[in-house]
Structure 1
């Protein structure tokens, strides 16, 4: 197996899976449709293109820094008539950091996607065009490694200030959301399996998601100082008689 790892970090992110009409929500972690869309854009594929090769990628994401939910209001006008559109609610994740991974047994496809991410045809964004990345996205292509192994072995990428909040812990537990396999049995489902990004006929299917955790080292860990022993400055006077 070959795996491509992506770092998704920015001031704002938004990953919708069931947004409709004037209320555009976000999932707590990147969706498969959002990441596949990022990869397709990096390759230069138009929205009307078929997603050959991309829809079969197995997807997973590790939550390194969950971020803070944020709500905003959005106004817009039609370009041709200047007619005002209804005010909509937009939800985001602020200061979040994720490690996303796609897996395939086609190493050439993973290498092609790796080169596309390094030199994208269209600029990448984190779910919406208003959400640019704040760090480099590319974390490299890894061969002879499974998706689970790659997500577990990548160092913790949370912001340094966030790591310091847990400096009393040598290791931290992180949540991993992996695309389920038939052997996983009953799992949660999410409608973010892309079929078509065509604006006139967008289609998404359900996929299974398995929730598990892994432990990673905390680079900000500081061992507690040894306790200071009790000190009695008069102990050296033991046996001395005062007159």
Structure 2
């Protein structure tokens, strides 16, 4: 069993699980359908190729919220290309200054191929929408022989931005929320989200329900990396005591 981890960070992200008329919202964390779509695009899987998508969709998914960001709303206008007629005003929601660590767990050979694809993608990755490019390469590494997805999400160092770290500079460890797919014995404690990818074909996009459990992990905080305090006058003071 292997786990592939990804860093999802950028000025704007949008992880929509639903869209209603001219209002397109975002979830508070990356969705499985979007992350699997990112991996499929990197591997060159076309939108209508449901057979090639199926192995990716069976991967177990989890995401860690390293920096929650803030929700912003954008009003957009558009015109019909042929007639020039104005289209209805639409609302689109984004997460600004957010950072996440996503991970998928599954077959080692499959994940090894996806890891290589992330390093040399056929189609460039984006964070939910094409207008949201990542600020850095998304590849965080392939963890061969990993015990579990949760172990990896607990081991990957905190990925928050420097300015966000400074707000927690006195903490030796940080408790982070993880949203992961539930195991079979956790159904009564899980929420459901229509986020399991079935097809990305433009004419019939389909998603099934999947179960999600909220969990936590603790990772080292900023102060755990500090050197011990040293004052050269301490020795003089001890000698005079």
Question: TM-score, normalising length from structure 1?
Answer: 0.89
Determine the C-alpha separation between the residues in 2 that align with 1:191 and 1:207: 6
- Aligned to 1:53, the other structure's residue is in SS state helix
Larger radius of gyration: 1
Q: Is 1:203–2:206 an aligned residue pair?
A: yes
- Aligned to 2:37, the other structure's residue is in SS state helix
Contact 1:156 1:218 in 2 (8 A): yes
Determine the C-alpha separation between the residues in 2 that align with 1:83 and 1:128: 25
Q: Is 1:103–2:105 an aligned residue pair?
A: yes
Partner of 1:161: 163
How many residues in Structure 1 have an aligned counterpart in Structure 2? 225
Partner of 1:150: 152
Q: Is 1:124–2:154 an aligned residue pair?
A: no
1:193 to 192, 196, 202: 196
Determine the C-alpha separation between the residues in 2 that align with 1:174 and 1:223: 24
Determine the C-alpha separation between the residues in 1 that align with 2:33 and 2:199: 10
Provide Cα deviations, 1:114-134, integer angstroms capped at 9, x if missing partner: 001110001110000010000
CA RMSD of aligned residues (A): 1.7
Gaps of 5+ in 2: 230-241
Q: For residues 177 and 124 of structure 1, do their structure 2 counterparts lie closer, same or farther at Cα, with a shift above 3 Å needed? A: same
- Aligned to 1:41, the other structure's residue is in SS state helix
Determine the C-alpha separation between the residues in 1 that align with 2:82 and 2:111: 42
Per-residue deviation, 1:59:
0.4
Q: Is 1:23–2:26 an aligned residue pair?
A: no
Q: For residues 47 and 143 of structure 1, do their structure 2 counterparts lie closer, same or farther at Cα, with a shift above 3 Å needed? A: same
Contact 2:170 2:222 in 1 (8 A): no
Q: Is 1:216–2:223 an aligned residue pair?
A: no
Contact 1:168 1:223 in 2 (8 A): no
Per-residue deviation, 1:75:
1.5
- Aligned to 2:35, the other structure's residue is in SS state helix
Name the structure where helix makes up a greater proportion of residues.
2
Question: TM-score, normalising length from structure 2?
Answer: 0.89
Mapping for residues 1-243 of structure 1, pairs under 5 Å: 1-50=1-50, 51-104=53-106, 106-145=107-146, 146-186=148-188, 187-220=190-223
Determine the C-alpha separation between the residues in 1 that align with 2:135 and 2:90: 26
Provide Cα deviations, 1:80-127, integer angstroms capped at 9, x if missing partner: 3333221110000000000000110x2110000000111000111000
Determine the C-alpha separation between the residues in 2 that align with 1:166 and 1:203: 41
> Any runs of at least 4 consecutive aligned residues in structure 1 with deviations exceeding 3 A, and if so which?
220-225
